Every structure is written in structure tokens, then in C-alpha cells.
Amino acid sequence: MSSAQRFFEQLVEPADIRIGGERPWDVRVHDDRLLHRVLATGTLGLGEAYMDGWWDCDAIDEMVDRAQRADAVARFRSPLTLVQVAESKLRNRQAQSRSFTVGERHYDIGNDLYERMLDPKMIYSCGYWKAADDLEAAQEAKLDLVANKLGLEQGMRVLDIGCGWGGAAHYFSQRFGCEVVGVTVSHEQVRLARERSHDLPVEIRVQDYRDVDERFDRIYSIGMFEHVGSRNYATYMQVVRRCLADADGLSLLHTIGGLRSKRSTDPWIERHIFPNSMLPSAAQITEACEGQLVIEDWHNFGADYDPTLMAWHANLIPVWDDLPDYDERFRRMWRYYLLTSAGSFRARRLQLWQIVFSRDGLSDAYRPSGIR
């Protein structure tokens, strides 16, 4: 046994993961260069080696859950990670000049993929599974949760920051009679969102959130704050404050959160899935809103992202043959993205927060109605 293999086996042993084992969460190595690649490039090398077919695991989500709980992943700190951290201190990776990069490289890769992966409303964020039995019900329950927390009513003018394919805007306009403006950095999302909402008072724009300077009764952002970056968190809060028309106006932030404050993301996620992304910590959010907005409510249902991601993965399994434009390396990349994310949420190393802000503090106690 080589020293690299011995090190790797000792690394995963506390997680009860075996190299060459037969259990679903054990790792099967197909290329002997894997261990050296991982030692040299950390989680980036591990993910790219999976994309290249150098190793397999029948239950990647379970493997990641075990590895995260045993803190094995934290030891994969490669020189690339250190370079990324240093770079994030020197420049604003989420500057406005770079804001459309994630749209081009992630959200614009093909509506056909997302239509098959997501629920019929095409909501690309965590569902709310408390009383739901399937993905569609979980996503509608999440939208009702947002609506109730914001107290949406007919005639309200509402801003959707990072509107995706317009599913939330469409739902709030149709069900609650709101006039919704949605902004996104994805041209493909805009094209489809406009088609889906052409008969409703919904306006979808290709626009950076920093350029919005209009008054709204309510503002929400669902799954977009992960692209804002720590250098811009305060700017985001300032935009929300200036756009809330009333002192009692409410804004809801729905975002994935990390347990510790960081200024960079996992190198594999950065290179292959979400360029220029970054998960906020609770401390970073509270610091950014200080003097700008008042926190009225903070709700964590991060455990619900696990079944959401597993449902997305299950939706894709039978339809890959209908998507010939995505080769085997892409399929392995996407599978790895969904299942490693599910495992991280299952291990509770990632969280999902919904935070309700008022502009100046409500004149009465915050009591959302209809919360299940």
C-alpha cells in the first residue's frame, strides 16, 4: 500500500468510508492517480476526478454526509484554496462588471435541462417540506410561506431580486394580485419568464440589482444572495432600503448560509457550477444590515434542502437520454453537484435561511399570518 493510499484511508476511516468497499457510500477507485491528484488539488481535484471517471460511489450524498460529519473534508485544503482566499481579499469577485458571468455559465446553459429537473413552476431553490409529499407541493408551500411572511395583498408593487424563470413572480401575481418586477442576470431566464407571464402584470428585466432605483411595497430575493459576495452585502441592504416605499415595508431574504464567515467558496463549485459565488454567514448578514434594515424574523429550514436536491436528481435520472447536448462528463459533473450538495445539507454544514427585514422597524409586532 502506498503512503498516499494509507493517508487517504486514514482520512476517511472516522467517517466509516472504505476505499474499495462494497457499501453504497464506499469509494471505488478506477485510476491509481486519484490519491495524488486529491492530495495536490484538494476538493477541486476530487470533483474533477469524478467527472473524469477516476472513481465512483453509488451514494455520493451519503458519503459526503458521513465525511462532513467526521470533518474529513476540512483536511482537503489545497494550495488552490489558499490562492483563492488571497485573491478574494485583493479584489471584488462579485463586482458589477462581473455580475453577468454566473448567468452565462450556469443559468444560461439550457432551459431544457432546468425544465426537466425542476418542478412545473421552475423554482430553483429550497422547497418547504413540512406538510409536502412531493417537490411541486414543497415549492408551492415555500412560495405561500414567503407570501404570508411578507403579507402580500392585491395591488402591491413587488420587487423580485434574482427572479429566475419567473415562477415566484407569476405565482404572486396570479394568486395575490400583485404587480411584480423581476430582475436577473440570465438572458435565458428572461426569455422563458416573459413567455410564461405575458398575460400578467409581471415585468422581467435583464438587470443588475444595484441598478434598481424605484419604490416597491415589498421586496424579496429567493436564492440570489449567494452571488452577492461579502464586499457587496452592505450595498445589497442599501438597495433594499432605498427601494422600500414605506417605513413599514417588508423584505424577505431567502439564502443558503454557511456556519463560518468566509470570503470564497469551494474551488470545484467556483470553477464548474457557480463562478464568483459565496455563502454568507449569519454574522456577515447582521453586520451588513446594521444601520440599514431591522431584522423582524429569522427562520432556518436547511434540512429541507436535502429532499429538494434529491428530488431534482431523481427527476433527471430517467430523462438524460432526452438531453443529448449534455455529454457524459457534464452528467457526472451535475450529478456530483446535486448529490454533494444534498450530503452537505444533510450533515447540516449548510443552512437555508429566510430572514424578514423592515426598513425602520415595524410600528407593531411582526406576526405573519397563515404560517404552517
For 283-311, write each residue's pLDDT tens digit: 999 999 999 999 999 999 999 999 999 99
Nearest to 16 by CA among 50, 63, 74: 63
Residue 165: per-residue pLDDT: 98
Higher pLDDT, 106 or 161: 161
Domain covering 96-358, topology? Rossmann fold (3.40.50)
pLDDT band (50, 70, 90) for residue 263:
confident
How confident is the model over 270-286, as pLDDT tens digits? 999 999 899 999 999 99
pLDDT score recorded for residue 7: 74
| 105 confidence band (pLDDT: 50, 70, 90) | confident
| Average pLDDT of every residue of the chain | 92
**Residue 98, pLDDT above cutoff 60:** no
Chain segment 117-157, per-residue pLDDT in tens: 999 999 999 999 999 999 999 999 999 999 999 999 999 99
Kindly indicate the confidence band of residue 87, based on its pLDDT and cuts at 50, 70 and 90. Answer: low
- pLDDT-derived band at 76, boundaries 50, 70, 90: low
What confidence tier does 185 reach under pLDDT thresholds 50, 70, 90? Answer: very high
Residue 74: band (very low, low, confident or very high) from pLDDT cuts 50, 70, 90: low
Check residue 21 and give its pLDDT: 94
Q: Identity (one letter) of the amino acid at 301?
A: F
Domain boundary assignment for the chain: 3-77, 96-358
Q: Taking the model in full, what pTM does it have? A: 0.93
